[in-house]
A and B are shown apart, each in its own frame.
Chain A
């Protein structure tokens, strides 16, 4: 089945540690995104990528890094510089027309990151 796969489902980070969240899609979408979701809040954009080898900072990029070496993959690294990393992280992809017209955004099942 086509879709977006995030792993792991649960992740624990020790202080000072970097951790990487995986996101893979087989929808052949050009655009991919990472969002952070905190309880009672809307989704906030961390990074997005319109095409391979290109990505842009979102609204809350500090303390995070990404790479886009393959169309199918968009891993997110939560660095030690991110002082409040506990959140639910969602990866998404879209058809990426660039105009917002006929756009659909699909999400993975999420990764819950907690600090030990």
Chain B
């Protein structure tokens, strides 16, 4: 089956620092999605990527679709306490099938 690896599993950072996390897959896909999930809530879509090499920003968040189409990274600049949560990537295959990473738990120390 499809292998999707997300790293790191968790991170503790100081407020104001930049953060980077990434996902790699064993196969090529058309779409990468990045989400943030707060405890007890549904995931919120942050960024969607559709083309190899595509670099997209959403405020302090930046994500890129790798050239090989097998990886993607998400950067958060100048972290703030409300960035705390679980971030995960997702790959979209054809016919509405989605594979999710296991998530990166982010803790921000004020």
**B90 proximity list for chain A (CB < 8 A):** 105
What 1/0 mask marks residues of chain B from 61 to 99 whose CB sits below 8 Å from any chain A CB?
000000000000000000000000000101011111110
Chain B, interface size category, equals: 20 to 34
Interface segment among B14-22, B42-50, B52-60: the answer is B42-50
Main secondary structure of the interface of B (DSSP, over half): loop
Q: Determine how close the nearest CB of chain B comes to the CB of A46; give it in whole angstroms.
A: 13
Once A99-B94, A100-B31, A104-B33 are accepted as A-B contacts, the answer to whether A42 and B41 lie under 8 Å apart by CB is no
Inter-subunit contact B43/A94 (CB<8 Å) = no
Number of A-B contacts (CB under 8 A): 69
Once A96-B96, A100-B30, A100-B31 are accepted as A-B contacts, the answer to whether A105 and B103 lie under 8 Å apart by CB is no
Measured CB to CB, the nearest residue on chain B to A103 is B92
Inter-subunit contact A50/B42 (CB<8 Å) = no
Interface residues in chain B, defined as those with a beta carbon under 8 Å from any beta carbon in chain A:
29-31, 33, 35, 40-45, 48, 50, 88, 90, 92-98, 100-103
* Extra contacts besides A42-B100, A48-B97, A101-B31 (4): CB < 8 Å: A33-B98, A45-B97, A100-B94, A104-B48
Interface residues in chain A, defined as those with a beta carbon under 8 Å from any beta carbon in chain B:
4, 6, 31, 33, 40-43, 45, 48, 50, 88, 90, 94, 96, 98-110, 112
